[in-house]
Amino acid sequence: QQPVQSPQAVILREGEDAVINCSSSKALYSVHWYRQKHGEAPVFLMILLKGGEQKGHEKISASFNEKKQQSSLYLTASQLSYSGTYFCGTPDNNNDMRFGAGTRLTVKP
Amino acid sequence: DAGVIQSPRHEVTEMGQEVTLRCKPISGHNSLFWYRQTMMRGLELLIYFNNNVPIDDSGMPEDRFSAKMPNASFSTLKIQPSEPRDSAVYFCASSTSGFGGYTFGSGTRLTVV
């Protein structure tokens, strides 16, 4: 069963912040985050393995709440290069991953 | 490291024809995944191999689709016969077992006319 992402789309000005949420109806072992630019393949950003763990990549960080079966991706002081579609992925105990529907982020000058 | 290599990059074929997509995973990665991406359905997992063995093929749409991994460095996804609704971008991804991130290939854009 695939995770649910919100919002579906976000439009920002450079320097603004955004939060993308990912939730699951099943217990989560870990959460992955990927970014896909138009016409390209998804690129791995980070993986969160423990409840409450936070990780960072550039000015992008994420949190994972096991109990709530949720993860959030935080984009701080957004740059033009952050534009793309962000996907969360939730592997099951076989390590095969289902992805959310994606959140399209547009950063404007 | 050349990354995950997929071929062809683009494929246009007529309905009813056989299509074979190819993937070379990153050396040392023992998990391989085939995904299909469309606007309507997003990224769908088709099949997952671990150590060359198919673990989960529940996402394969129907019997027209088949996948093989004869060795650790090569996998194929075959569609026969192809139909227009198979048009999509097909991605191959690989990772290490456990909790590694997935590395995606550049994808094959398939158009069935």
Could you report the per-residue pLDDT of B43-65, keeping only the tens digit for each?
999 999 999 999 989 899 889 99
Contacts of A94 in chain B (CB under 8 A): 48, 55-56
Could you report the per-residue pLDDT of B95-105, keeping only the tens digit for each?
987 667 899 99
Best mutation target among B34, B39, B43 (most A Cβ atoms within 10 Å) is B43
The pLDDT of residue A50: 66
> Hey, what are A9's tokens?
């789309």
The pLDDT of residue B1: 66
Give the DSSP letter string of A55-108.
EEETTEEEEEETTTTEEEEEE-S--GGG-EEEEEEEE-TTS-EEE---EEEEEE
The pLDDT of residue B38: 96
The reply to whether B91 touches chain A by the CB within 8 Å rule is yes
Q: Do B97 and A95 touch (CB under 8 A)?
A: yes
Residue B93: pLDDT over 70: yes
The pLDDT of residue A65: 86
Measured in angstroms, the CA of B49 and the nearest CA of chain A are apart by 9
Share of chain B above pLDDT 70, in %: 97
Residue A55: pLDDT over 70: no
Residue A10: pLDDT over 80: yes
Q: Do B101 and A44 touch (CB under 8 A)?
A: yes
Residue B39, number of CB atoms within 10 A of its CB: 6
The pLDDT of residue A92: 79
Residue A30: pLDDT over 90: no
The pLDDT of residue A54: 63
Return the residue of A nearest to B45 by Cα.
Answer: A98
| Among B17-21, B40-44, B73-77, B107-111, the least confident range | B40-44
Residue A56: pLDDT over 80: no
Q: Do A41 and B33 touch (CB under 8 A)?
A: no
Best mutation target among A40, A97, A98, A103 (most B Cβ atoms within 10 Å) is A97
Measured in angstroms, the CA of B42 and the nearest CA of chain A are apart by 6
Name the strand (E) or helix (H) holding B102: none
A66 — pLDDT class (breaks 50, 70, 90) = confident
Measured in angstroms, the CA of A62 and the nearest CA of chain B are apart by 15
Q: Do A96 and B104 touch (CB under 8 A)?
A: no
- Residue with the bigger pLDDT between B25 and A28: it is B25
Q: B89: Cβ–Cβ under 8 A, 6 or more apart, which residues?
A: B36, B37, B38, B107, B108, B109, B110
Residues B57-80: what's their mean pLDDT?
Answer: 95
Contacts of B48 in chain A (CB under 8 A): 94-96
CA A45 – CA A61 distance, rounded (Å): 9
Residue B86 DSSP SS3: helix
